A and B are shown apart, each in its own frame.
Chain A
Amino acid sequence: MNEILIIDDEEDFGYFVKANLELKGEYHVTVATEGKEGLKAATKIKPDLILLDIVMPKVDGLQVLKKLKENKKTQGIPVIMLTAKNDEASISQSISNYSEQYIIKPIQMDILESKIKNVLMILGSQKG
């Protein structure tokens, strides 16, 4: 079973992502609703993948991403950025340093799931 961490201040969104992904029993999802909490959970759980919202109060997603990538314990974890923001170009630019993917909200759950699968597969093949 794959361990997924979602860091998003929209608690209900996190709830439904968890509900959807856990439905078939393939994933276990932990939900964090703010940046600091997310960073803590990431070092503690060491998830296979992190879903990270960009726009959050206090510590935003880009700061969290930077910290995750600076921390040796978490820098290997793939991150998919989530955003309801408009400007795709600036988003892709701001996260390009970490060659991470991004998803624009709202997202259909099966699309999200297939993206997650793809990332995990690539990771798996790299590890293998």
Chain B
Amino acid sequence: MTKQGSILIVDDEIGVRESLRMILKPIYEVHTAADGQEALECIRKEKIDLVTLDLRMPGLTGIDVLREIKKIDPTIEVLIVTGYPDIENFRQAIVSQGAFDYIIKPFSVPEIIATVRNALLKRQALFQKTYTDQELEKKLMQTEKGFEIRTRQLREWQIKYRQIIENSNDMILVVQDEKIKFANPKTMELSGYTEEEIEHIPAFQIIHPEDRQRVAECDARILRGEDCPPMYPFRTLRKNRESFWVEANSIRTIWEVNPAIIKFIRDISARKKAEEELRKAYDELKETQGKLIQSEKMAAVGRFSAGITHEIKNPLSIILGGTDFLLKKLSGVDGDVTIALQKIKEAILHADHILMGLLKFSQPSKLVKEKINPMNLINDTLSLLKFRLPFKNIRMITQFSEEALTINVDKSQIQQVLMNVFLNAAEAMAEEEKIFIKTYKENPSPSLGGKPACVIQIVDTGEGIFSEDLSKIFEPFFTTKRDRKGTGLGLPISKMIVENHEGNLLIQSEKGKGTEVSLILPLDEGELK
């Protein structure tokens, strides 16, 4: 015969335990426990349908045990069996803790059997019909209430999120299949598109053409779930084609069932501008530092050369005197000796030339200024030039300003500069080429701090200067024509002279194309003397 349920008898009195066991054993499977702890262990281990529970026990009280049983399995029925009729305890046990009923000791056998049966029947009924109508209604009400609460919570969250998104200082947009599916007000504000327009333009239209590929690659990676820099800068494009720098953070999301990307885009144009200004300031600082180092170097060259030049010139004059003597004495005697002596003499004169340059550096002559038309100055220089160097039939094409210009300069010094520039140009050119010389008024002149200037521009179509050499051409002793007896002092001296006149000497050049030299001198706006 199969047992009709499994019962646990909990009582600290062995007599009660055993008598109950004897009564119930023929019908039910019976377990016993002498205290609360043992009872709970048994319940955890065995499948128990009903517990008969003594309320007064050492250790855990019956009420405690009842509470624990219901925690472990609320469907286990509990029958209180006690020798002390304590109505309040029973009420608590039944109403609050869900006990089935109570029996007061001493009990009759039919009473206990009937109560146990009833308790087990109730349990059975509960299992067979999960909800009575009443319970169903209760459940429905609970569900409805829950739904209402959840709806309200959802609405609250929706409002919160919308406020965050709509008031965000960042553009927030959802992109799916190259379309902008959602954009917050900041997006319209910064892009210049209306809400309607933005839904109809391709998503890449708001990205600078040069950055589109990079952004597209990153988006594709995000959609594939691959790694992508969490934040990266690019330029966006407004409706009016203006671009500005942004920084985006993109994440993968689902939008209307399909994968999409949410982009949080921050306008960083102010930061970029600040960075730009910082870089500019840094570059200017570096340039100033470079100039300082340069002028310090010049000053050092000056101090050094002033001392040493005199010491070298004396022995040079002896060597030159000796060489001249030998040349006269041996001329016609031995051709080779004459050639050798000639070369020695050339070298001495070259060394002297360098020393003269050094002297000009170390002790720049005082300016003896006079007001002069640059046209006359140039023409005088060109006529002087006729006597210098083989000229390869190079033609000088002049184009003077129609307006009569006046500069207040040391004529001989500026002539020296012009001579130097003309000779450099002529040397850089092949036969039969042309040098263009132009004068014009520049007002305001950016290189003279906005003051009016007279610009003398000398353009040649010669071999030009390598860009890496261009930055060094004003350094003393830098020369690309050492083989042609260059001293590396011509341009530094020229620049110094022009700067002593509060002017500027600028050189632009491209290798193979030619060189443009601009001699920018302050314009004298007074009357010609």
Contact = CB atoms under 8 A, between A and B. Distances in A.
Contact residue range for chain B? Answer: 20 to 34
Interface of B is mostly: helix
B314 interface: yes
B359 interface: yes
Contact of A86 (B318, B325, B348, B362): B362
B310 A55 contact: yes
Contact of B324 (A20, A84, A105): A20
A67 to B, nearest CB: 24
B352 interface: yes
Contacts of A16: 318, 321-322, 324-325
Given A19-B325, A23-B328, A106-B352, A13 B313 contact: no
A12 B317 CA distance: 9
A26 interface: no
B359 A86 contact: yes
Given A13-B321, A105-B316, A108-B320, A84 B328 contact: no
A17 B318 CA distance: 9
Interface string B356-370: 000100110110000
A108 B359 CA distance: 19
Given A86-B306, A87-B363, A106-B320, A23 B325 contact: yes
A89 B359 CA distance: 12
A84 B363 contact: no
A84 B366 contact: no
Interface string B313-338: 11011111110110011000000000
Interface in A42-67: 55
A109 B322 CA distance: 9
A121 interface: no
A89 B324 contact: no
A88 B329 CA distance: 33
A110 interface: yes
A19 to B, nearest CB: 5
B324 A13 contact: no
A10 interface: yes
Question: Which 9 A/B pairs are nearest by Cβ-Cβ distance?
Answer: A16-B321, A106-B317, A109-B324, A84-B313, A105-B317, A106-B320, A86-B359, A106-B316, A12-B318
Interface of A: 10, 12-13, 15-17, 19-20, 23, 55, 84-89, 105-110
Interface of B: 306, 309-310, 313-314, 316-322, 324-325, 328-329, 345, 348-349, 352, 359, 362-363, 365-366
